[in-house]
Structure 1
Amino acid sequence: MTLNVLLVLILLAIVLALLRWRRCSRALLALAVVLLLAVGCGPLPIWLLTQLQSGYATEAPIAWGQRNAIVLLGAGTVRATDTGPVEASLFAYGRINKAAALYRECRQTGHACRIEVSGGDARGLGQSEAAVYAGNLQRLGVDPADLLLESRSMNTWQNAQFSGPLLKAWGADRVLLVSSGFHLRRGMLYFAHFGIRATPVRADYVDGIRSWEPLSYNFTMADLALHEYTGVARYHWYNAMGWNVQATKPGAL
């Protein structure tokens, strides 16, 4: 996203220079240089990610209920080779490990605990995220009987939409939403829309890197953050236009 904007600015500057609009051309080139340094050297992605994650940087003690649901949001799957097994993606392992740790902590209280794994086969690899992650969770000691699989959702909005009935059917009185720090603001917004009062739990925290030279990593982190901001802005825009499904009354779950 940010790299595309940079290339467009440079191309427009070249076109304007050919048309002899030199002042406009120089202005666009200067803007391109500022964007290159602000993103590539770290200041912009660091600021964007800090604003997204600051509310989740510190973990508060969890007050467990009688029936606790730990909702694990998917982060994609990959296939190592053309014929290899479907595996969790890079970002998924932190979320999986965090969900398993919360499950063990919950079980120590003696109360009922379930992990709801939410995620379909968005990449068309033949196996849902929910099923793949469930295998990882079982290898980490989670009882298969304590897994609730939601394998239809293709995005975060559907994660929230399809999780509601599943959690309600099980009778959860305490819901924890586990995801990456950068993803929690959007996830919490969507789950609240469907009447799910959840406690956010950060599985991981990402940041940009300050550097004297532009780094491709920082462009990736900026795009990651902008994707989240776009999702939040789209939600509010769709609400204003009446395009979202009707919100569920808060606390309906």
Structure 2
Amino acid sequence: MLTVLVVLLLLCVLLYRRRWRRTGHAVLALTLLVFFGIGCGALPRWLSDSLQHGYEVNPSIAWAPRNAIVVLGAGTAVVEDRPLQPSFFVDGRLLRAAQLYGACKAAGKECHVVASGGDSQGHGEPEAVVYGRALRALGIPEADIALESRSMSTWQNAQFSRPILAGYAPQHIVLVTSGIHLRRSLLYFAHFGIVPQPVAGDWVNARREVAPDSWNFFLMDVSLHEYLGILRYHVYNLLGWNAPKAPPLAA
């Protein structure tokens, strides 16, 4: 959005130089309106709240005899010479997955956790491997963790998780990701015949501020990324650019 605002300002300069003052005033007013609408929280709150609406904080889960919990990746972080760490948006997802695994086991059911994510940032190690270490540290046995380490996007999270899930044949699937990421993830997973129960690992809110806040600009970009991903999916479907839809995953 900062790029868009800079372009609008440059357009204002061009309009004023050409002496199109009324149009320049209108574009400048629009630029200021968008800047303060984002920075003070109104626009990102509207978009992010719409993305997170409708998902329960603690949904009731009817565990089947055989279950799978799929955790989607959101990057890794480099910390000096130490092993890679889960990034900012991942810890909540991993903690939620561990909580769900514990609840499933407490109910006396079988459960596997699928960590999905490749090395999309070029850090030298797939996200899934980093998350696998964190999940083991949270008490999940290695035998109950499957790593999907090829995916470079949410679309590939769904695409490459399907063979793993098909091999395990769960009777119930839970998808764990950020609340703001759930809608797009569910859309992509459904395309590959996977209809999981959604569970948010974290939630975000815009800040109501008098002066513009950088967090609100970040959240605006994240929200627009989600909406554009949803729009792109539907456009690609119309143009026939998406892979053919997969049949429902058999339990």
The alignment's TM-score, normalised by the length of structure 2, stands at: 0.98
Which range moves more in the overlay, 183-192 or 242-251?
A: 242-251
| 1:59 matches 2:58 | yes
Give the 5 Å matches for 1:154-233.
Answer: 154-233=152-231
| 1:111 matches 2:109 | yes
Take 2:247 and 2:126, find their aligned partners in 1: how far apart are those partners? 30
Matched residue type, 2:110: A
Where 1:175 maps in the other structure, the secondary structure is strand
Take 1:187 and 1:214, find their aligned partners in 2: how far apart are those partners? 30
Take 2:115 and 2:59, find their aligned partners in 1: how far apart are those partners? 23
Cα deviations by residue, 1:149-186 (Å, 9 ceiling, x for unpaired)? 10000110000000011101011111000000000000
Cα deviations by residue, 1:166-208 (Å, 9 ceiling, x for unpaired)? 1010111110000000000000000000000100001110010
Shift in CA distance, 27/84, structure 1 to aligned 2, threshold 3 Å: same
Cα deviations by residue, 1:108-141 (Å, 9 ceiling, x for unpaired)? 1111100000001111111111110010010110
**Post-superposition, which runs of at least 4 consecutive aligned residues in structure 1 deviate over 4 A?**
none
Aligned residue for 1:38?
A: 37
Ranges in structure 2 where 5+ consecutive residues have no aligned partner: none
| Number of matched pairs | 251
Query: Contact 1:196–1:252 at 8 Å: present in 2 too?
Result: no
Give the 5 Å matches for 1:96-135.
Answer: 96-135=94-133
Query: Contact 1:45–1:221 at 8 Å: present in 2 too?
Result: yes
Where 2:173 maps in the other structure, the secondary structure is strand
Matched residue type, 2:138: L
Take 1:227 and 1:14, find their aligned partners in 2: how far apart are those partners? 29
- The percentage of aligned residue pairs carrying the same residue is 49
Take 1:239 and 1:172, find their aligned partners in 2: how far apart are those partners? 28
Take 1:62 and 1:252, find their aligned partners in 2: how far apart are those partners? 20
Where 2:216 maps in the other structure, the secondary structure is helix
| 1:22 matches 2:33 | no
User: What is the alpha-carbon root mean square deviation over aligned residues?
Assistant: 1.0
Give 1:57 shift: 4.3
Give the 5 Å matches for 1:79-98.
Answer: 79-81=78-80, 83-98=81-96
Where 2:54 maps in the other structure, the secondary structure is helix
Take 2:166 and 2:157, find their aligned partners in 1: how far apart are those partners? 14
Matched residue type, 2:204: V
